[in-house]
Amino acid sequence: MDKLIIHGQKRLKGEITISGAKNAALGVLPAALLLKDTCTIENVPDILDIAILRKIMGSLGARFEDIDANTLKIDTRNVNSYRATTVDMHRLRGSYYLMGALLGRFKKAVVTFPGGCNLGTRPIDQHIKGFESLGAKVEIEHGFIKMSAHKLVGASIYLDVVSVGATINIMLAAVKAEGVTTIENAAREPHIVDIANFLNALGADIKGAGTDIIRIRGVKELKGNVTHSIIPDQIEAGTFMIAAAATKGDVLVKNVIPKHMESLTAKLMEMNVKVEEFDDSIRISSREKLTKINIKTLPYPGFPTDLQPPAAVLLLRADGTSTITEGIFDSRFQYIEELRRMGAKIRVEGRMAVIEGRSKLTGAPIKALDLRAGAACVIAGLIAEGETEITNVHYIDRGSEKMVEKFQQLGADINRVSDN
């Protein structure tokens, strides 16, 4: 198994280009299954999650042509199976978008219960409620979700909780349904807008993506030969912005949409970090003294839960005691035990982490427990004294394109080594 070796306390300096958004790509690729033609997707991140999704879609009959490292041509004309039941489904939470896509294409689907990072209870009841509202019969048995519909008919669907996954899945299933579907209390994340823009380019009729009410007027067919470029990854951008601030660095983060970063930039400025925004880039230069702050993670446009673990590491550098309240997942503080091994003074009280600033971190062997916790471990290693060894690197590979190389580019002493 590979591991990362980091020698810390080097200031990050230089510029970095952000990859396409993982969460957008994980929705756009399944959305292509609603098409019986070809399309080209640009700015696709070269990450493990996408490789797994391609393998699953390939088993359904989709064909992929790599135009270059980040550009894919997808041919869905020969997709002939509605059963996404390969073992790879367990490895990928985002595989649940195949439910909406296959239901929309075939009016039936059999999908293995999805996997992914362990972040506590992540129910799919809102997805199922949406499918049933559109006219599908849904059964869960022996680890499979089985869905079928004589026809899908538009409906008004109110989500009991703001769910990104349910919003996207219902949108996918409704694109070719008869009549109008309204999703109320919809999630507003940027990648929902990106997926809607892709579908609209294919001929779908979706209005209101990015607001809490989305209306989808069903169409009979979608048309291909469309090229779509995935939006930049706001979480990767945020990770490098936080790393720059944590290492007292000076980094220009390129290929970002500054509007998507507002909740983070506001908190960084509150901490006394210097933030300069340009059209499609943000420069972070950290001052010596950082101010303590309180953060609460919320659905977009609030502070992203996926940046909560990296933010916790940054708060270890602040003067005084800060808090982070987790408002999305009920189990997202497991990584704190790893930070404690390095000397972090953090205690967890229910959904709140209380973080004592000016904690001195020293290098230690630690484990990445999920994708975003892995990013936090890397940043902790970058600011710690001595050598940090991070195992479970496959979690980082799931969602970060060339993370090690990008940090090396900024002057970090980080290397990937193999035990073999």
What is the total count of domains within the chain?
2
Q: What is the pLDDT of residue 338?
A: 97
CATH number at residue 329: 3.65.10.10
State phi, psi for 357 to the nearest 5 degrees. Answer: -70, 170
Determine the angle formed by the axes of helices 164-174 and 190-201, rounding to 10 degrees.
10
Res. 331 pLDDT band, cuts 50 70 90: confident
Residues 54 and 9 in one domain: no
Given a cut of 60, whether residue 121 has pLDDT beyond it is no
Q: What is the pLDDT of residue 63?
A: 98
Residues 299 and 279 in one domain: yes
Given a cut of 60, whether residue 120 has pLDDT beyond it is no
Residues 296 and 375 in one domain: yes
Host H or E run for residue 243? helix 234-246
Give the residue from 186, 209, 229 where a domain finishes: 229
The 10s digit of each residue's pLDDT in 61-71 is: 999 999 999 99
From residue 411, how far is each of 13, 48, 272, 401 by CA, in Å? 6, 25, 23, 18
Average pLDDT, the chain: 95
Residues 239 and 363 in one domain: yes
Residues 92 and 218 in one domain: yes
Q: What is the pLDDT of residue 143?
A: 84
pLDDT, average across residues 86-91: 88
pLDDT, average across residues 103-120: 82
Q: What is the pLDDT of residue 118?
A: 58
Given a cut of 90, whether residue 219 has pLDDT beyond it is yes
Give the residue from 182, 208, 229 where a domain finishes: 229
Residues 68 and 138 in one domain: yes
Residues 362 and 245 in one domain: yes
The 10s digit of each residue's pLDDT in 346-388 is: 999 999 999 999 989 999 999 999 999 999 999 999 999 999 9
Determine the angle formed by the axes of helices 164-174 and 22-31, rounding to 10 degrees.
20
Res. 115 pLDDT band, cuts 50 70 90: low
The 10s digit of each residue's pLDDT in 124-169 is: 899 999 999 999 999 988 889 999 999 999 999 999 999 999 999 9
Which is more confident, 120 or 329?
Answer: 329
Given a cut of 60, whether residue 122 has pLDDT beyond it is no
**What range does the domain containing 273 cover?**
2-19+233-418
The 10s digit of each residue's pLDDT in 279-300 is: 999 999 988 899 999 999 999 9
Res. 1 pLDDT band, cuts 50 70 90: confident
Task: Supply 418's token pair.
Answer: 């193999």
Q: What is the pLDDT of residue 286?
A: 86
The 10s digit of each residue's pLDDT in 38-58 is: 999 999 999 999 999 999 999
Which is more confident, 312 or 118?
Answer: 312
- Active-site residue set: 117
Range of lowest pLDDT (13-22, 30-39, 46-55, 119-128): 119-128
Q: What is the pLDDT of residue 174?
A: 98
Residues 194 and 310 in one domain: no
Given a cut of 90, whether residue 249 has pLDDT beyond it is yes
pLDDT, average across residues 330-349: 95
Residue 253 near residue 240, CB atoms below 8 Å: yes
From residue 81, how far is each of 3, 91, 150 by CA, in Å? 38, 20, 17
Residues 96 and 222 in one domain: yes
Whole-prediction pTM value? Answer: 0.96
Separation between Cα atoms, residue 285 and residue 232, nearest integer Å = 21
pLDDT, average across residues 92-104: 92
Neighbours of 45 (CB within 10 A): 26
Residues 395 and 339 in one domain: yes
